[in-house]
Chains A and B, each alone.
Chain A
């Protein structure tokens, strides 16, 4: 039986295909359209899934959609009805797309995929819950989902048992921790639904001096549930988020390219403190209710890796599973599993053990691309490519590492990664100058072999998806300065050989040279673009930036040995 999960029209559109309850393929639409956080119908992602399974659309038994569109439309109309006469511009912007697309999901399936079969609609937070629980290693778990907003819900708690999920309670719009986080993100001059992780990074530099002021915006009950004071917000009827009262309280909105001042850092820190307070209160109360120590989490706020890293210390939950694509992309996977396991009552067969579900390329395909483009390259043996790559990284070169199938979710985890030497204290500057052009307050992340992780980090679990921040051990901070954040933490990835053999072996080769089993791992992309998907995108990215070498499969390509033609990818970089 084939089930195709689809999420779209809000942000991070995606498709995920199951065959008899196991993942065949899953990918975000942005990787194909090259439009970051693309929210359009995921036609290309869905067609890729079909291609991977070598089937036509008529073989699909069910398409599962990630929300109930009419319930969401009901919420939207309620916003306009409540705030009339305000809200016209938002109404004018939103309504045409609702009438053309969002309320006509079956027609869109027909138009884009020529699909005329059964469509199942799953509530949004149920799809989030399923995205974590149904692919977790747990038979039974407490479940917590939290995001900006779905139909009406912005957070939910419940329990998963076997193939069934019960959502016991929810918090509803306009009360939303995700939207509070986004409002502060907008106020700090960052992009909403894109830059929330920058606010989290900035928080490490601040003091929580706005904590009491922020508390005026949000009432928090003892069980962690919360209510926003809507006089500080405009998002229920406007495209902008902070209200005049918000600006009066926290100062003017920062202009995007202007300096980041201490007050910005302090506001970010205060917000992070409140976010953690709410999450831990909710989780502690959830445990009291369920008495189940295993926890599954999903929803955009579950990407807050700083909070995630503290869950086991601050709550009773010791076993935690978070969907790696915790934002709305993950609901394509969640709704597909919910359809197969829960609605159609089939046994659970999939435990997520890696995220390499995207497109991959054979040696022949890569070679013919390189030959066709007349690119200078050398092809090495399996062992030589590892030795050579490790050597190049040890010599402070920046490497584009392109292997196997693309990652599912927002993080590059060793198949579409840029790798560099974490021992060089200047490597953050080098990476920023050559390719990433990040704000200086944002650290780079380390990947470490699992058996060595505890020597370098205060880590208590495997963290293969970069969803948790843990302290770097005090005595090691000097050794790996370029992956140690200002507060002494690192958002690490642990890797076992069975998860990604070549990546693991490369780190071990690097250890042979450096005595340290750690690399810098950052996503392989041009600033402001999605992570590269194809060999051509990887090559273009290298040629337009300062990446020194590209390793695709066993092919080694040096930037210096190739003319800078094709395109200047830096000239189109945006953030």
Chain B
């Protein structure tokens, strides 16, 4: 029995992972289509770009940051 239990446990774990992946799939399809898709299409209509994918020749590709020590409160934020 001692050898069987871990095998059953492993099998159940795999089954639960499989069910989770199916549930995730079903839930994420509408989120992707409605949440991501509609937002993307709508904002792109107004010329919005979310990533700079266009290749353009510039003198420099550095972006100004000027980040130095901030007030303590700012570090409690996750953004």
Q: Do A and B associate with each other?
A: yes
A→B interface (CB under 8 Å): 68-71, 74, 77-85, 88, 91-92, 95-96, 103, 105, 118-123, 126, 153, 156-158, 164-175, 219, 221-223, 225-230, 236, 339, 342-344
Q: B: which residues have CB within 8 A of A?
A: 20, 24-25, 28-29, 31-32, 36-37, 39-41, 43, 49-53, 55-69, 72, 75-79
Is the pair B40, A81 in contact by a Cβ cutoff of 8 Å?
A: yes
Report which of B41, B62, B69, B79 forms a contact with A157, defined as CB distance below 8 A.
Answer: B62
**Residues in A whose Cβ lies below 8 Å from that of B20:** 96
A248 to chain B, nearest CB (A): 17
CA A222 to CA B62, docked complex, whole Å = 11
Shortest beta-carbon distance, A102 to chain B, in Å?
A: 10
Contact between A230 and B55, CB atoms less than 8 A apart: yes
Q: From residue B11, how far is it (CB to closest CB) to chain A in Å?
A: 22
A69, A164, A169: the one contacting B62 at CB < 8 Å is A169
Determine which of B36, B68, B75 lies in contact with A91 in the assembled complex, contact meaning CB atoms within 8 Å.
Answer: B36
Residues from chain A with Cβ under 8 Å of B50 in the complex? 77-79, 81-82
Q: Are B55 and A229 in contact (CB under 8 A)?
A: yes
Give the shortest distance, in Å, between B29 (CB) and chain A (any CB). 8
On chain A, the residues within 8 Å of B64 by CB distance are 168-169
Apart from the given pairs A68-B78, A174-B51, 18 other A-B contacts in the complex at a CB distance below 8 Å: A70-B77, A80-B32, A84-B41, A91-B28, A91-B36, A92-B24, A92-B25, A120-B76, A121-B76, A126-B67, A164-B68, A166-B68, A168-B65, A169-B64, A222-B59, A227-B56, A230-B53, A236-B51
User: For the complex, what is the distance from the CA of A250 to the CA of B39, rounded to whole Å?
Assistant: 36
Complex interface: chain B residues within 8 A of A68 (CB): 77-79
Residues of chain B within 8 A (CB-CB) of A119 are 76
Picked from A74, A95, A166, A221, the residue with its CB within 8 Å of the CB of B28 is A95
In the complex, are the beta carbons of A219 and B55 less than 8 A apart? yes
Pairs across A and B, CB under 8 Å, 16 listed: A68-B79, A70-B78, A71-B79, A79-B51, A80-B36, A80-B40, A83-B51, A91-B32, A121-B76, A123-B67, A170-B63, A175-B52, A221-B60, A223-B60, A230-B55, A343-B72
Specify which chain A residues have a CB less than 8 angstroms from the CB of B60 in the assembled complex.
221-223, 225
Q: Is the CB of B55 within 8 A of A227?
A: yes
CB within 8 Å for A171 and B61 given contacts A70-B79, A121-B75: yes
Q: In the docked arrangement, what's the CA distance between A78 and B36, Å? A: 9
Asked, given contacts A69-B78, A219-B57, whether A88 binds B66 with beta carbons under 8 Å apart, the answer is no
Known: A121-B78, A164-B68, A343-B69. A173 touches B63 (CB 8 A): no
CA distance A227 to B61 in the complex (A): 7
Chain A residues with Cβ below 8 Å from B43 are 81
Bound complex: CA A121 to CA B78 (Å)? 6
Whole-angstrom distance between the Cβ of B63 and the nearest chain A Cβ: 6
Q: How far is the CA of A559 from the CA of B49 in the complex (A)?
A: 62
Q: Contacts A81-B50, A84-B36, A226-B61 hold; do A165 and B79 have CB atoms under 8 A apart?
A: no
Question: When the two chains form their complex, are residues B24 and A84 in contact, meaning their CB atoms are under 8 A apart?
Answer: no
Interchain residue pairs A-B with the least CB separation, the first 7: A70-B79, A225-B61, A78-B50, A169-B62, A82-B50, A84-B40, A166-B68
CA distance A92 to B27 in the complex (A): 10
Neighbour of B39 across the interface among A81, A122, A123, CB < 8 A: A81
CA distance A339 to B74 in the complex (A): 12
Min CB–CB distance A89 → chain B (angstroms): 10
CA distance A165 to B69 in the complex (A): 7
Separation of A405 and B2 alpha carbons in the complex (Å): 38
Q: A84-B36, A84-B41 are in contact. Are A120 and B75 (CB under 8 A)?
A: yes
Closest to A119 in B: B76
A168 to B77, CA, bound (A): 21
Residues on the A chain within 8 Å of B28, using CB:
91-92, 95-96
A91→B62 CA distance, assembly (Å):
29
Known: A85-B37, A92-B28. A121 touches B61 (CB 8 A): no
Residues of A within 8 A of B40 (CB): 80-82, 84
Closest approach, in angstroms, between the C-beta of A539 and any C-beta of chain B?
25
Cα distance A82–B48 when bound, in Å? 9
Which residue from chain B places its CB closest to the CB of A174 in the assembled complex? B51
Is the pair A167, B67 in contact by a Cβ cutoff of 8 Å? yes
Chain B residues, Cβ within 8 Å of A92: 24-25, 28, 32
B66 to chain A, nearest CB (A): 6
Nearest Cβ in chain B — how far from A491, in angstroms? 31
- Identify A82's interface contact among B24, B53, B68, B78, CB under 8 A: B53
**Cross-chain contact A82 with B41 (CB below 8 angstroms):** no
Asked if residues A170 and B65 are in contact (CB atoms below 8 Å), the reply is yes
Determine the residue in chain B with the shortest Cβ distance to A166. B68
Beta-carbon contact of A167 and B51 below 8 Å:
no
Interface centre among A88, A105, A158, A173 (most CB of B within 10 A): A88
Asked if B37 and A84 make an inter-chain contact with CB atoms under 8 angstroms apart, the answer reads yes
CA distance A174 to B49 in the complex (A): 13
- Chain B hits for A219, CB < 8 A: 55, 57, 61
Name the residue on A nearest B64 (C-beta): A169
Please give me the residue from chain A that is nearest to B68 by CB atom: A166
Shortest CB–CB separation between residue B53 and chain A, in angstroms?
A: 5
B24:A96 contact, CB within 8 angstroms: yes
Q: How far is the CA of A85 from the CA of B29 in the complex (A)?
A: 11
Chain B residues with Cβ below 8 Å from A343 are 69, 72, 75
